[in-house]
Structure 1
């Protein structure tokens, strides 16, 4: 009787072991089915996009790569290799924006520019920073990061600035530098 019990215990143990190992592989397969990969719904290389309003060009966007994430809960467009953006005002004056990386959030109309961010215009005004936000609706730039602002009048440094796309309205914080007001 002891031998029969010994074999039945061994058989039960072996059966449980086989079931556990087979369940492990099935469990991993079930996990994979529930996992949704975060991938773009659209992708474009070497884009040159012109935005027009009432027959006038308002902006030109050039980027080597664009990834569209339109099927996620908070849709966005990513430019992982940077952007070169030209903005036009009502009189045709240009403002140029360059960044190593950009992401545009659809629900907020905000563009987050990152990396080496430079914004400059035809009159020689230039702002350099590591991160800058652009509010497309209000045509307004802002950052809380350190910046360098250069113009024909001089150079200033600071931490925190917001300004209109044409640099006509500028609010800066914690600034230092030299500016020649006589020009």
Structure 2
């Protein structure tokens, strides 16, 4: 019986040691997680249709199936994880349409980051398509460094990097990778 007790003690100590190690590892993982900043939205809305006004005049209409508002984080933003459609109105009532499958609006900078099949068009038949586009709300200015396709009544052009006003009256393209193809 003495030999059984002697063999049991090291075996029992080995089991306790293994339990202590796994217990410490679990706590260590919890401590590691404390270093990461996890946050959740302070607001969550489904099926939104927001109208923005200035002096009684509608300046924009935002429609999205889902909106998450992170107003309480250090750098507040609003996320549209299921995409959005935005209609901008100028002072003469002309409309500019913007569609994206994903968007983030940064409150501190007034920039909207539009991503994934971004299309912007107007009533004059002009349309720009790209994978990412930024909109500076304060200056009403769009820009991207990504490849784009620009379609107008004059034809189609392709390029990489462009910035322009919301009415397409001022356009600065960086690289045109091909000639304008007439649509006639």
Is 2:180 the counterpart of 1:178?
Answer: yes
Structure 2 counterpart of 1:89: 90
Is 2:58 the counterpart of 1:57?
Answer: yes
Structure 2 CA distance for aligned equivalents of residues 155 and 101 of structure 1:
25
Gaps of 5+ in 2: 1-5
Shift of 1:24: 2.2
Structure 1 counterpart of 2:132: 131
Q: Secondary structure at the match of 1:131?
A: strand
Structure 1 CA distance for aligned equivalents of residues 104 and 171 of structure 2:
24
Shift of 1:142: 0.4
Q: Secondary structure at the match of 2:66?
A: strand
Structure 1 CA distance for aligned equivalents of residues 180 and 22 of structure 2:
74
Q: How does 1:28-107 map to 2 (within 5 A)?
A: 31=31, 34=34, 37-107=38-108
Shift of 1:28: 5.3
Give runs of ≥4 in structure 1 deviating > 4 Å: 13-16
Q: TM-score, normalised by structure 1?
A: 0.84
Shift of 1:23: 5.3
Shift of 1:163: 0.2
Structure 1 counterpart of 2:3: none
Q: CA separation of 1:127/1:15 partners in 2, compared to 1, >3 Å: closer, same or farther?
A: closer
Q: Secondary structure at the match of 1:173?
A: strand
Structure 2 CA distance for aligned equivalents of residues 100 and 158 of structure 1:
22
Shift of 1:14: 7.2
Q: TM-score, normalised by structure 2?
A: 0.83
Q: Deviations over 1:51-100 (max 9, x none)?
A: 00100000000000011111211111110100100000011100000001
How many residues are paired up?
178
Structure 2 CA distance for aligned equivalents of residues 18 and 114 of structure 1:
49
What is the alpha-carbon root mean square deviation over aligned residues? 2.9
Structure 2 counterpart of 1:110: 111
